[in-house]
Chain A
Amino acid sequence: SQQGEEDPQALSIQEGENATMNCSYKTSINNLQWYRQNSGRGLVHLILIRSNEREKHSGRLRVTLDTSKKSSSLLITASRAADTASYFCADNAGGTSYGKLTFGQGTILTVHP
């Protein structure tokens, strides 16, 4: 398995603070994706960054990708209590992967009002 790793496993912050989560993967990729999962629910896609991109923004989300270090980070700015969830990175391996994703173990984010 080429399952990546996420860091930290859990993060607790106050509303208004920024949250940064990191992800590492093991082999070459087509793209890397971030998903959010609220407790007891399915995963929701947040952002996809392709291997030839270095940074991508979506609203309060900023994702970076460093293919030389095989790592990515997700920054959530000005966090809100509603951002409380688990966040997963998932890599789409290079070559003919048929869109298959390998998920990390996730970061549990708690944002206190």
Chain B
Amino acid sequence: NAGVTQTPKFRVLKTGQSMTLLCAQDMNHEYMYWYRQDPGMGLRLIHYSVGEGTTAKGEVPDGYNVSRLKKQNFLLGLESAAPSQTSVYFCASSPHRSITGDEQYFGPGTRLTVT
């Protein structure tokens, strides 16, 4: 199993450009998440999904959109990139075994720089 994979690994954008980050998982997990990690701030949740066709806002959703058309894929879009969106983006997935929550499995990350 590949686990959680992310595409691309690195990207440089100019301000105002758009792009889509792709996350794929092969563990048949129900829940998927997008986080951003900035120096000294830990991880912050951008958006999440509790199943195919559903999405919801996390802690820092502004400037991002997401879609989950297939259970195994979770896409994160930046419509008009800003320098404040320079960060490392992590995707994660989680099974839905326990009503009190389960562990998350993380992808390797995408390092995005907006100039």
Contacts and interface: CB of A to CB of B under 8 A. Distances in A.
Given A98-B50, A99-B94, A42 B107 contact: yes
B42 A105 contact: yes
Interface in A94-110: 97-106
A31 interface: yes
B106 A92 contact: no
B33 A100 contact: yes
Contacts of A31: 100-101
A112 B74 CA distance: 40
A42 B9 CA distance: 12
A51 B107 CA distance: 27
B42 A99 contact: no
A30 interface: yes
Contact of B45 (A35, A40, A101): A101
A99 B108 contact: no
29 contacts: A1-B59, A3-B42, A30-B101, A31-B100, A31-B101, A35-B106, A41-B108, A42-B109, A43-B43, A43-B92, A43-B104, A45-B104, A45-B105, A48-B101, A48-B103, A88-B42, A90-B43, A92-B100, A92-B101, A98-B48, A99-B101, A100-B45, A100-B58, A101-B33, A101-B43, A101-B104, A103-B44, A104-B42, A105-B40
Given A43-B106, A99-B96, A105-B40, 18 more contacts: A3-B42, A30-B100, A40-B109, A42-B4, A42-B90, A42-B108, A51-B100, A90-B43, A92-B100, A92-B101, A98-B48, A99-B33, A99-B102, A100-B48, A100-B58, A102-B45, A103-B43, A105-B42
